[in-house]
Amino acid sequence: MTAMDIAAPLAQPRPDPAMSLYCLLDPEVLANPYPLYRRLREKDPVFWDPFLCAWVVTDYANVQTVLHRFSADRTPTPAQLNSLGLDALEPIARVMIQQMLFMDAPAHTRLRSLCSRAFTPTRAERLREHIQDVANRLLDRVVPAGRMDVLADFAAPLPAIVTAELLGVPAADHEQLKAWSADYAEVLGNFQHNPDRAGRVLSSVEGMTAYFRSAIREQERRPRDGLLGSLLAAEIEGARLTEDEVIANVIVTMVGGQETTTNLIGNGLLTLLRNAEQMARLRDDPSIAPSAVEELLRYESPSQHTARLAPADVVLGGKQIRRRDPVMAVMAAANRDPARFANPDDLDLTRKDNRHLAFGWAAHFCFGAPLARLEGEIAFTTLLRRLPEIALEPNPLVWRENLGLRGLEALHISFRSQGAAGAEVR
């Protein structure tokens, strides 16, 4: 035995709680997480967070690598939940393990190709007129009042109605779909476990499953256009999705399609209001809307981070990561990396070379990105065209306690009031 072997282990530096991603639970940090992300990126872009028991990755190059190379197959199996004494959550896990978001190739490739057949960019584009119509109808209701809560009156119902149409279920059910989706987003967006909310999430999963099962029975009697019917019929080389796979992936599409798009509109409008010159630019020239949407996605990403597991023992950013170690890829931090984006904290609606990671990267790149982009363009241009002199109301801004899916509880604005047909009434 050498002297080295018996020497006391080197003192480990004390973990710094101010570097933990758990700081997002502090409302002040949640209101502006970007200084925390900057600190992480500058001090330790591949950081072992001892409080979260996960690696936290914040620079663009390494986030891209994690999204490209690491395993998405991270849902605890029913057996693992059992061993943790969490068997009550089993029905949620049973749905999640069948969702493409939580799979690796080849299972992911098979599922995604079947779903892609059913949801093409052309299908999204066909919804353009309909989205414009829904946006106008929602604004017709509030325009005379001269004030609105952008979230409740516009940003929440718009994607909920569009998603119902996309799926091929009655648009009249959009409030119920929205409520379920908000509950399920608790599972998708949060890494903290909140036992008080588990019961509600559970009953929502059961509610959604029963709803889509009966919608499938209805489609068998009376087929209608939409993703649900297309998924039931999709076939590659004789392979079809099972009914449970269809339901699980309709649920992830419905939730993915609503929560994030709502937050793109809410976060985006707030960002424009905080950057009056840029907002005037978009109002004066709506043709820049596509690039404005990309910049708003980069600047205030609705999906801030996602999780992966290390596929093997690997070195990332000089750190040794062990196989199956959990890794948080913080896209919102990567999107503000000065090594990738010039002046990343400035909003520039005509930014060039804006390959942000707000829709993820590689195999799991957002399935609904064409639709989200379209909804974003229509939402911002319609709000700016129809609401003159928009201003923030003095109510305090409250961010939802969902650490992954960043969004506001409410966004109260006022504007110059007009008659329903657009005639000024003041």
Q: What is the DSSP letter of 317?
A: T
Task: Give whichever of 143 and 372 is closer to ligand HEM, judged by the CB atom.
Answer: 372
Question: Per-residue string for binding with ligand HEM, 111-130, x by CB under 6 A?
Answer: -x------------------
Total residues contacting ligand HEM by CB under 6 A comes to 23
Instruction: List alpha helices for 193-242, DSSP H.
Output: 195-221, 227-233
- Tokens, residue 368: 């609904």
Q: Is 100 in the site for ligand HEM (CB under 6 A)?
A: yes
Interacting span for ligand HEM (CB under 6 A) from 49-57, 126-134, 199-207, 357-365: 357-365
Cα 386 from Cα 415, distance rounded (Å): 10
Q: 338 by DSSP, 3-state: which?
A: coil
Name the closest residue to ligand HEM (Cβ).
Answer: 368
Q: In angstroms, give the least distance from the CB of 125 to ligand HEM.
A: 13
E strand map for 255-373? 306-309, 314-316, 319-321, 326-329
E strand map for 81-205? 147-149
Binding residue for ligand HEM, selected from 19, 54, 371, 383, defined by CB under 6 A: 371
Task: Give whichever of 305 and 351 is closer to ligand HEM, judged by the CB atom.
Answer: 305
Q: What is the DSSP letter of 388?
A: T
Which residue's structure tokens are 């516009």? 154
Q: Is 347 in the site for ligand HEM (CB under 6 A)?
A: no
Interacting span for ligand HEM (CB under 6 A) from 42-50, 53-61, 310-318, 355-363: 355-363
Interacting span for ligand HEM (CB under 6 A) from 213-221, 313-321, 365-373, 408-416: 365-373
Dihedral sign of CA atoms 322, 328, 329, 330 in order: negative
CB 88 within 8 A of CB 198: yes
Q: Which of residues 64-83 bind ligand HEM (CB under 6 A)?
A: 67
CB 304 within 8 A of CB 329: no
Interacting span for ligand HEM (CB under 6 A) from 15-23, 185-193, 254-262, 348-356: 254-262
Cα 13 from Cα 237, distance rounded (Å): 56
Q: Is 372 in the site for ligand HEM (CB under 6 A)?
A: yes
Q: Which residues bind ligand HEM (CB under 6 A)?
A: 67, 100-101, 112, 252-253, 256-257, 260-261, 264, 302-303, 306, 358-360, 364, 366-368, 371-372
